[in-house]
């Protein structure tokens, strides 16, 4: 059966979305993501070793936090994030794995977290200085 919206409403109203083109957002009633450490520096790493870091966060807002997507800017950065809603006051973790193969020198990799927050995108970052095998002092 076809779903018809009342005249003057939009399809966006079918989804619980605190922001619409017709009304201002009340950011005080939304979810909010707060990272304890939004930037992590691995320091010097060997180009043959995959490294990972876990970013911890808290939902400091008043609504459940839903993370829709987390993405790095290249295939070398692979994030894993919670798929279930995070209650207000509760925390969660985003693990980011970085494969430095084929990279050399200083690396700065932003990761974009898209969620039901305002604004809806939050950046976290990993950094590293990638050394070719044998340059990092390891024997």
For residue 59, count other CB atoms closer than 10 A to its CB: 24
Give dist(CA 1, CA 48) in Å, integer.
56
**What pLDDT sits at residue 26?**
72
Of residues 36, 25, 37, 30, the one with CA closest to residue 66:
30
Bridge pairing between strands 105-115 and 121-131: antiparallel
Contacts of 63 (CB under 8 A, 6+ apart): 18, 29, 30, 31, 88, 116
What is the pTM assigned to this prediction? Answer: 0.78
Tokens for 117, please give them.
């927050």
pLDDT tens per residue, the chain (139 residues)?
444 555 655 544 444 444 455 556 677 789 999 999 999 999 999 999 999 999 999 999 999 999 999 999 889 999 999 999 999 999 999 999 999 999 999 999 999 999 999 999 999 999 999 999 865 444 3
Of residues 105, 137, 107, 125, the one with CA closest to residue 53:
125
- For the beta sheet containing 67-72, the strands, ordered from the edge strand earlier in sequence to the opposite edge, are 39-46, 121-131, 105-115, 67-72
């Amino acid at each position: 059966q076809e779903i018809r919206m009342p005249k003057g409403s939009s399809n966006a109203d079918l989804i619980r979305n605190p922001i619409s083109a017709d009304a201002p957002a009340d950011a005080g009633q939304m979810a909010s993501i707060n990272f304890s450490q939004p930037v992590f520096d691995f320091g010097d790493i060997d180009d043959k070793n995959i490294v990972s870091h876990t970013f911890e966060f808290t939902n400091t807002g008043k609504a459940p936090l839903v993370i829709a997507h987390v993405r790095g800017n290249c295939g070398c950065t692979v994030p894993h994030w919670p798929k279930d809603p995070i209650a207000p006051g509760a925390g969660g973790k985003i693990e980011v794995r970085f494969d430095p193969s084929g990279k050399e020198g200083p690396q700065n990799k932003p990761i974009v977290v898209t969620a039901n927050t305002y604004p809806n995108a939050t950046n976290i970052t990993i950094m590293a200085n990638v050394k070719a095998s044998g340059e990092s002092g390891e024997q």
